[in-house]
């Protein structure tokens, strides 16, 4: 299949939702000009969404890619290099994936696994910003904007409350979210904590994330 081939995922209609298509061109998700959301007369003024994601960590040889969290790469570029990578079909960004699922959940839409299946070879190693862009597009098509977004990142290592090249790593994550959600820094918060050396996360074999957000009706 060539890069010029467009691919559409078609979904069953849900209450207060419609069947959407998510065409791809290369490695970017493109909005369909023919797809118009049906706005329910009973859409609430505020919706609440929760998202969760977890990914396994392993050696770079096994993972084949570095750890990426909130758009920050732990390979020495935007954050200090870390010895373990993220085992995932895409780049495995747990913050972005959790935010996407929280938005889709708030809108009663199909989850991230249905939109971007992990058995599609074209998504191998994908930058999770494409998932964020698709979630944002669906949110504004339904007439909503971010009220606030609260992120809880849970990992034993690497540390994220640190500076790299003169910038706070956790601050870069917050800035990335605000940029992709087209909102202000004051409406996004990224918290980070360890798992007190308990289970796979506490043993440094995985990283996980919870997100709670609100969507406010703007039209």
- The rounded distance, in Å, linking the Cα atoms of 188 and 150 is 6
Q: Residue 50 forms beta bridges with which residues? A: 212
- The rounded distance, in Å, linking the Cα atoms of 155 and 160 is 9
Which tens digit of pLDDT belongs to each residue from 41-69? Answer: 678 999 999 999 999 999 999 999 999 99
Locate 90 and state its tokens: 């895409």
Element of type H or E holding 100: helix 94-106
Q: Is 15 helix (H, G, I), strand (E, B) or coil?
A: coil
Q: State pTM to two decimals.
A: 0.81
For the chain of 219 residues, list the mean pLDDT of each consecutive stretch of 10: 35 34 39 44 90 97 97 96 96 97 95 84 89 96 97 97 95 97 96 96 97 95
Which tens digit of pLDDT belongs to each residue from 68-94? Answer: 999 999 999 999 999 999 999 999 999
- The rounded distance, in Å, linking the Cα atoms of 111 and 91 is 18
Q: Taken in order 92, 96, 99, 100, is the CA torsion positive or negative?
A: negative
């Amino acid at each position: 299949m060539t890069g010029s081939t467009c691919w559409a995922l078609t979904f069953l209609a849900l209450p207060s939702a419609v069947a959407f298509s998510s065409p791809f061109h290369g490695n970017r998700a493109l909005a369909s000009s023919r797809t118009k959301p049906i706005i329910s007369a009973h859409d609430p003024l505020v919706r609440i969404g929760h998202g969760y994601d977890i990914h396994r960590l392993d050696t770079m040889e096994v993972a084949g890619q570095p750890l990426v969290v909130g758009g920050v790469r732990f390979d020495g570029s935007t954050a200090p290099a870390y010895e373990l990578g993220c085992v995932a079909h895409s780049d495995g960004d747990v913050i972005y994936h959790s935010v996407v699922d929280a938005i889709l959940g708030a809108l009663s839409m199909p989850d991230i696994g249905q939109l971007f299946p992990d058995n599609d070879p074209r998504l191998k190693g994908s930058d999770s910003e494409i998932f964020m862009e698709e979630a944002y597009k669906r949110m504004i098509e339904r007439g909503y904007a971010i009220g606030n977004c609260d992120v809880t990142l849970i990992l034993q290592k690497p540390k994220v409350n640190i500076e790299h090249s003169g910038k706070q790593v956790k601050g870069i994550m917050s800035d990335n979210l605000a940029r992709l959600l087209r909102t202000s820094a004051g409406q996004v918060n990224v918290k980070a904590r360890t798992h007190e050396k308990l289970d796979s996360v506490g043993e440094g074999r995985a990283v996980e994330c919870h997100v709670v957000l609100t969507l406010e009706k703007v039209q």
